[in-house]
Amino acid sequence: MSQQRHGSTPGDAGGVPAFPDLPEATIARLPEYLRALHHLAEAGAETVSSEGLAAAAGVNSAKLRKDLSHLGSYGTRGVGYDVALLVDQIEYILGLDENRAVCLVGVGNLGHALAGYAGFASRGFRVVALFDADRKKVGEVINGLTVRHIGELERVAAEESIAIGVIATPPGSAQAVADVLVAAGVTSILNFAPCVLAVPPNVDVRKVDLAIELQILSFHEHRKASLTALPGGGGDATGDQEAVGS
């Protein structure tokens, strides 16, 4: 069965709804598939099997096929998936064809590194503004952008149509920053501060906490060591384990 192009309407014969209702777990894996597809495209691949794409993305092939079936992508028997078409489909579903405007609040060590990261532009995002509450940092130029005072955020958000705000402040400041972002009309927040934010129901928050990720890895190290210590242990206790967090 051949793949369907994105954007087909529900009334099209064999078409896919313009925006399918996807499980959260599937949404979380789509960026991994997209990254693997970009690498394949850069290597000159035009098609890829489900097994090949699954291996590149670090998941099992059955899970990948189920995820892509939600997009109406079933591949072609004996050929696999069209790499360019699948890239288009996933980018459409993730909204990456919108070239969304992003602002970053907090230009300390982490914020400075994020502001200088060149990979955002190639993945459908424009970092259009940097903010900080420290007036000593205001006026600093990072990756071509001048740091503004957070007091300007509401005006700049309206001017630049900012869709996503990134918080890279200390935890004690994060909630106040989130409040400013919400008041400015930003409805998606990526939070690097190790704290829980209180936001309205229409605001989506994704949290990135490196300490938590390390603690999860520590659990797996502890589990492997415990299994190895059992009688008959010492072999591969994890089997064909997927990457943690997939």
Q: Is 111 assigned to a binding site? A: yes
pTM check: above 0.85: no
User: pLDDT digit string (tens) for 191-207?
Assistant: 999 999 999 999 999 99
Q: Is 165 assigned to a binding site? A: no
CATH class of the domain whose range is 99-210: alpha beta
Q: Is 107 assigned to a binding site? A: yes
Which sequence spans correspond to the domains of the chain? Answer: 24-96, 99-210
User: pLDDT digit string (tens) for 50-90?
Assistant: 999 999 999 999 999 999 998 887 778 878 999 999 999 99
Q: Is 191 assigned to a binding site? A: no
Write the CB contacts of 108 (distance below 8 Å, at least 6 apart in sequence): 168, 169, 170
What's residue 1's pLDDT?
34
Q: Do residues 93 and 31 lie in contact, with contact meaning Cβ atoms separated by under 8 Å?
A: no
Q: Do residues 128 and 101 lie in contact, with contact meaning Cβ atoms separated by under 8 Å?
A: yes
Q: Is 52 assigned to a binding site? A: no
Q: What is the mean pLDDT of the chain?
A: 87
**How buried is 8 (Cβ within 10 angstroms: 0-12 exposed, 13-18 middle, 19+ buried)?**
middle
What's residue 10's pLDDT?
35
Please, where are the H alpha helices in the chain? 24-42, 50-57, 61-69, 83-93, 109-115, 153-160, 171-183, 210-229
What's domain 24-96's architecture?
Orthogonal Bundle (1.10)
Q: Is 96 assigned to a binding site? A: no
